[in-house]
Amino acid sequence: MVANLAHRLLSFEEYLVYSDTTDNRYELVDGVPVAMTPPLISHLDIAKFLERCFDQEIQRLELPWRCYREAGLRVGVRKSRIMDICVIEKQYVDALRTAGSAAVFENPPKLVVEIVSPESIRRDYRHKRSEYAAVEVPEYWIADPLENKVSILSLEEGLYEAREFVGSQPVTSRIFPELELTAERILKTE
């Protein structure tokens, strides 16, 4: 679907099939498609490493979950975010697959990771924090190579409680309690 958006907002359903004939990726913010900037190589390295770690843990524990990079999550009536990484129940993946729908989930993942880049600081720390809490994502990780820290936010009574990890501190996750990672290893790029 090619759309002229000069004077109208997209519904969530229109966003799911939106294309402007470019290779740009878009988030939907209050009905407006907002182009995402291409990621840095370090961003891709961090995402690939965490995806591999999560996939191994899911397989080892035989959990009915899947890990994806760059899937979408509906966070409002006319709002959808592209997550750097998410861990979501297989039943929600199967439902989208059966429906032949775009990879935009309407059910909250178990865990979401965002990797901070210079242009995403405010979005990752502020906007996505409140949006993910509102749709009840139990655990939200913010990997911040700019500040050399990893924040893990756990949902408690509708609000996130944040813990920060730096250097060789072991990162602790409620979703993956046996995962052995440090902030330093997560942020290390090859």
* 154 lies in some domain: yes
Least confident of 18-27, 42-51, 87-96: 18-27
* 88 lies in some domain: yes
* 5 lies in some domain: no
* 16 lies in some domain: no
pLDDT at 5: 46
Would you say residue 141 has pLDDT above 80? yes
Reported as a pLDDT band with limits 50, 70 and 90, residue 20 is confident
Measured between alpha carbons, how far is 46 from 185 in angstroms, rounded to an integer?
A: 9
* CATH number of the structural domain spanning residue 81: 3.90.1570.10
Average pLDDT, the chain: 93
Least confident of 92-101, 103-112, 131-140, 170-179: 92-101
Reported as a pLDDT band with limits 50, 70 and 90, residue 1 is very low
Number of structural domains found in the chain? 1
* 98 lies in some domain: yes
Reported as a pLDDT band with limits 50, 70 and 90, residue 136 is very high
What number is the average pLDDT over the span 39-43? 91
Would you say residue 189 has pLDDT above 70? yes
What number is the average pLDDT over the span 31-53? 94
| Structural domain of 103 | 37-187
* 75 lies in some domain: yes
pLDDT at 47: 97
pLDDT at 3: 43
pLDDT at 88: 98
* 153 lies in some domain: yes
